[in-house]
Amino acid sequence: MTSDLIEQLDRATIQHGPLSNRIYVMNPGDADVGQLADTLELLAEENGYTKLCVKIPESSASSFLDRKYIMEAAIPGFFHGEETALCLSRFLDPDRGIDAHQEKIKRIIELALHSGDKSTTSLPEKVTIRQCRENDAAAMAQVYSSVFPTYPFPIDNPAYLRDTMRTHIVYFGAEHKGKLIALASSEMDRDNAAVEMTDFATLPSWRGHNLAGLLLREMESAMRKRDMKTAYTIARAISPGMNITFARAGYSFCGTLINNTNISGGIESMNVWYKKID
């Protein structure tokens, strides 16, 4: 499984590369946003990228909106539980801004929003949920590589999993008779008290048991204890299951990132959902 590069640029944390063919500003840090906007354009031109995407405080948005970025999503309370984060994008190839599945995506959003019962089912017999440890990394990588043919981050690499466990990601697993059967992670932005609920993967033989919803419930409880205020996810827009999972858990839909992420074999649009959990 290949993935794009994560690095620092003008004091911001970015991800870029040919896999998703875009630059994603994951965290603007203390970058000068005007300078950052200029540098992103240069990097995109050098590499022929077709999309720029930034997650930025609303108060800093003008530097990007003035450069023909459009707002694709907004996450209220992302920064310190107070300021909204805007997901702004610029399509350097007009075709990149068009998703042939647009009507299907709309139907899935409507389906999720009207999915009704927000209760979570009970765990299947002999299945438990726990926080993953460093010695689980090899087994976790096998689960991820079996579920995703491509992914924006190297979650099939045990070293990556161990490294991120030590810094800012808490992984959770559903286990049956000592074997991991489903995974998810909570990627914490401690400076802003925000957490991305992500990396959900369930082995095919265990789908249909709402393990993602059960993992999400456990993750929210753990993140509250770590003083996270806002939880969000960036879910595959054409995946009814994950969108329904978050809607039923009380998350609010807040936008779609068009043709944004290479996941499961191709570049797909992603829906953004958020919830206050403090």
Average pLDDT along the chain: 96
Q: Does 89 share its domain with 150?
A: no
List of residues 6+ apart from 274 with CB closer than 8 A: 75, 76, 77, 78, 230, 231, 232, 233, 251, 252, 254
Q: Does 87 share its domain with 125?
A: no
* pLDDT for the residue numbered 128: 97
Q: Does 35 share its domain with 80?
A: yes
User: What phi-psi label fits residue 252: left (phi over 0), alpha (psi between -120 and 50 degrees) or beta?
Assistant: beta
pLDDT of 175 above 90: yes
Contact status, residue 92 vs residue 224, Cβ threshold 8 Å: no
Exposure string of 35-47, with b = 16+ CB inside 10 Å and e = fewer, is ebbebbbeebeee
Q: Does 20 share its domain with 76?
A: yes
The per-residue pLDDT for range 99-110, each reduced to its tens digit, is 999 999 999 999
The per-residue pLDDT for range 215-237, each reduced to its tens digit, is 999 999 999 999 999 999 999 99
The boundaries of the domain holding residue 45 are 5-97
pLDDT of 80 above 90: no
Per the structure, the count of domains in the chain is 2
* C-alpha neighbours within 13 Å on the C-beta side of residue 19: 20
Q: Does 68 share its domain with 185?
A: no
Q: Does 35 share its domain with 115?
A: no
**Residue percentage of the chain with pLDDT more than 90:** 94
First to last CA, the chain: 36
Q: Does 88 share its domain with 127?
A: no
Amino acid, res. 47: N
The per-residue pLDDT for range 24-52, each reduced to its tens digit, is 999 999 999 999 999 999 999 999 999 99
| CATH code for position 175 | 3.40.630.30
Task: Indicate the pLDDT class of residue 118, thresholds 50, 70 and 90.
Answer: low
Task: Indicate the pLDDT class of residue 195, thresholds 50, 70 and 90.
Answer: very high
Task: Indicate the pLDDT class of residue 198, thresholds 50, 70 and 90.
Answer: very high
Residue 82's CB is within 10 A of a number of other CB atoms, namely 13
Mean pLDDT within 13-20 = 96
Measured on CA atoms in the order 262, 267, 268, 269, is the torsion positive or negative?
positive
Q: Does 52 share its domain with 120?
A: no
Q: Does 113 share its domain with 93?
A: no
The per-residue pLDDT for range 136-174, each reduced to its tens digit, is 999 999 999 999 999 999 999 999 999 999 999 999 999
Q: Does 164 share its domain with 224?
A: yes
Q: Which of 1-10, 13-22, 215-224, 233-242 is least confident?
A: 1-10
pLDDT of 119 above 70: no
| Residue that has been written with the tokens 């879910």 in this structure | 235
Task: Indicate the pLDDT class of residue 214, thresholds 50, 70 and 90.
Answer: very high
DSSP state of 124: P
Q: Does 14 share its domain with 87?
A: yes
